[in-house]
Amino acid sequence: MTDKRYQVFISATYLDLREERGVLLQALPTLGCLPTTVEAHSQSLSTMVSIRRRIDESDYFILLVGSRYGSLMPSGVSYTHMEYVYAATKQKPIIILMHESPEIRAVDLQEQQVEGKLKFSDFRKVLLREQPNNIFYWRDSADLANLLRNAIPALIRRHPSVGWVRVGNSAASAELEKQCAALKKRVQELEQEREKWLASTAINTENLSKGEDLLEVSYRCKAYAGGNCQDVNIKTSLSWNELLVSFGSHLLQPQTEDFMAAKMNERLQRNALQEVQREYPKTHAVVEVQITPICFNTVKMQFRTLGIIQKANRDNDQRMWWQLTALGERNLSNVMSVRRVTSRPTA
């Protein structure tokens, strides 16, 4: 017999939904679910790397909507909005618990600025348009527990998931684990041999683009304007040094390929809103800024060919890992070093 549990990510604004979030954290375990959430958002794009990982690991996604849009990312969209977009993009089964009349809640629980009120209104419109069949309305915290008792079992029936299963140990599973460990070790040995062979093969890099040479970087994102959302493709120009700085300091230790791409996305997101507004002037926020796969692979292979990065292995992890080479560390140090400014003699 197995005991299955499902991991559920709870997305909610912080200040206006403390009590309601607590209700969800207490109710979900009684329904066979393991809740996970982020209690408070720090003002850092790197926070989204951790959030996305938690959403990826979750079976289901609950969006709790009260009367605030939430703290903003540099792109102009809130963290809560970004979490919803990411979960929808990953096709996670979604439940939206939306307050039926946010305007009647206490004033201190509502958005105080006009811009925040407009963005919150636009966000509700997006949810009503994109998720009409997954929205459940509530008025107070007591409603939430009752809603979950019906909504969660129905969600699990409609969208069965693998979940988490506790199983007993057995001699057969122990032997299987032993064989898997031996195979993983052999794969790592072959990868290391391949990397050594590649490193020993001299490649003329004189004619390769590098340093302050510019690369046309293609990325895509979602642009919001007046409650509407559309996918847009944008191009910008970044130097190879700018791209190296975006992820290089994090690759002093091995990092996953997804992490490397996320750091490039953070660099692109810095100017994404202004770049999108050049073509779509009414855009007020952009989300899900992602370098295109072909462009990312071009950057990755160029840095590898230049001897800046190399593949790294991690035990019991089949994801692609990368790390700076000694040459890469020297290049990064040269780019990021702060030069002394020589003062001019006064007349």
Sign of CA dihedral 248, 253, 257, 258: negative
Report yes or no on 197 lying in a domain.
no
Looking at the structure, do residues 8 and 147 belong to the same domain, yes or no?
yes
Residue 196, phi-psi category: left (phi > 0), alpha (psi -120 to 50), beta (remainder): alpha
pLDDT of amino acid 77: 87
Q: Which of 139, 164, 189 is the last residue of a domain?
A: 164
Report yes or no on 181 lying in a domain.
no
pLDDT of amino acid 1: 38
Count of the separate structural domains present in the chain: 2
Identify whether the C-beta of residue 28 lies closer than 8 Å to the C-beta of residue 148. yes
How would you write the pLDDT of the chain (347 residues) with one tens digit per residue? 346 889 999 999 988 898 898 899 999 999 989 999 876 555 455 577 788 889 999 999 999 999 999 888 877 888 899 999 999 999 999 999 999 999 999 998 988 888 889 999 999 999 999 999 999 999 988 889 889 999 999 999 999 888 876 655 555 566 667 777 777 676 666 666 665 655 555 456 678 899 999 999 999 999 998 778 888 999 999 999 999 999 999 999 999 888 999 999 999 999 999 999 999 999 998 988 999 999 999 999 999 988 899 888 776 666 788 999 888 999 999 999 887 776 666 65
Report yes or no on 346 lying in a domain.
no
pLDDT of amino acid 347: 56
pLDDT of amino acid 161: 87
pLDDT of amino acid 338: 82
Q: Which domain holds residue 292?
A: 211-336
Report yes or no on 76 lying in a domain.
yes
Looking at the structure, do residues 19 and 156 belong to the same domain, yes or no?
yes
Looking at the structure, do residues 158 and 30 belong to the same domain, yes or no?
yes
Looking at the structure, do residues 7 and 134 belong to the same domain, yes or no?
yes
The CATH number linked to 282 is: 1.10.10.10
Looking at the structure, do residues 239 and 119 belong to the same domain, yes or no?
no
Using H for helix, E for strand and C for coil, what is the string for the chain? CCEEEEEEEEEECCCCCHHHHHHHHHHHHHHCEEEEECCCCCCCCCHHHHHHHHHHHCCEEEEEECCCCCCECCCCCEHHHHHHHHHHHCCCCEEEEEECCHHHCCHHHCCCCHHHHHHHHHHHHHHHHHCCCCEEEECCHHHHHHHHHHHHHHHHHHCCCCCEEECCCCHHHHHHHHHHHHHHHHHHHHHHHHHHHHHHCCCCCCCCCCCCCEEEEEEEEEEEECCEEEEEEEEEEEEHHHHHHHHHHHHHCCEEHHHHHHHHHHHHHHHHHHHHHHHCCCCCEEEEEEECHHHHHHHHHHHHHCCCEEEECCCCCCCCEEEECHHHHHHHHHHHCCCCCCCCCCC
Looking at the structure, do residues 43 and 131 belong to the same domain, yes or no?
yes
The CATH number linked to 159 is: 3.40.50.450
Distance CA 327, CA 119 (A): 47
Q: Which of 164, 181, 196 is the last residue of a domain?
A: 164
